[in-house]
Amino acid sequence: MARSKSSHRWLKEHFADPYVKRAQAEGWRSRAVFKLEELIERDDLLQPGMTVVDLGAAPGGWSQMVRDRLGDRGRVIGLDILPMQGIAGVDFIEGDFREESVLATLEQTLDGTPVDLVLSDMAPNMSGMTAVDQPRAMHLAELAEAFAAEHLRPGGAYLTKLFHGPGFDDYVRRLRAAYQRVSIRKPKASRARSPEVYALATGKR
């Protein structure tokens, strides 16, 4: 099947992207690692020995970077509906985060270990229709929020992808009530045209 003009434009832009080129050169699985890199360095999010849960982990760039930064100390658990090639030192669960059985598997994997940091780069498959995409994105963000509320230790941190639109302001207000500090970040590696931002909530109450 022939690609559309928009697909050709996207591919041309993608392979010309300096972050894509840098990720390939440095052996990272995706350009998204540079979003996380900026956030963890700016806010000093990672410390040796931490337990980190990465929601929406595939293709594995964030889990890869966290594992690299933690070295031999700490634990990383990734989860995604898509398959992911294994990463040494990362426990991966393949499944739909919206399903209770998958959440139960994640909880069993944790085995009562309190979580220091929850990362969520989850996003739905975008249709291009805001009225459809925004509720789906907010639903995933709400599931991640609930997981963090239940499993993060007091003082822990939560980083999640959000999209501006209905539900955004209410979501941020809830985070401000549940955490000591909430910041909205737009990493340099996040494409300017994208409505995505990241909410960083630290100091879980």
Choose the catalytic residue: 161, 186, 188, 204: 161
96 annotated to a ligand binding site: yes
Within 10 angstroms of residue 83's Cβ, the number of other Cβ atoms is: 9
- Asked if 62 contacts 121 with a C-beta cutoff of 8 angstroms, the reply is yes
Query: Is residue 161 flagged as an active site residue?
Result: yes
Sequence-ordered list of residues with C-beta below 8 angstroms from that of 141, at least 6 positions apart, any chain: 120, 122, 160, 161, 162, 171
Sign of the C-alpha dihedral computed for residues 62, 63, 67 and 70 taken in this order: positive
62 annotated to a ligand binding site: yes
- Asked if 199 contacts 175 with a C-beta cutoff of 8 angstroms, the reply is yes
17 annotated to a ligand binding site: no
The amino acid occupying position 57 is A
Spatial separation of the C-alpha atoms in residues 142 and 150, rounded to whole Å: 12
169 annotated to a ligand binding site: no
Residue 196 is given by DSSP the state: E
27 annotated to a ligand binding site: no
The amino acid occupying position 99 is E
State the binding site for S-adenosyl-L-methionine: 60, 62, 80, 96, 121
Q: Which residues are annotated as catalytic?
A: 161
State the binding site: 60, 62, 80, 96, 121
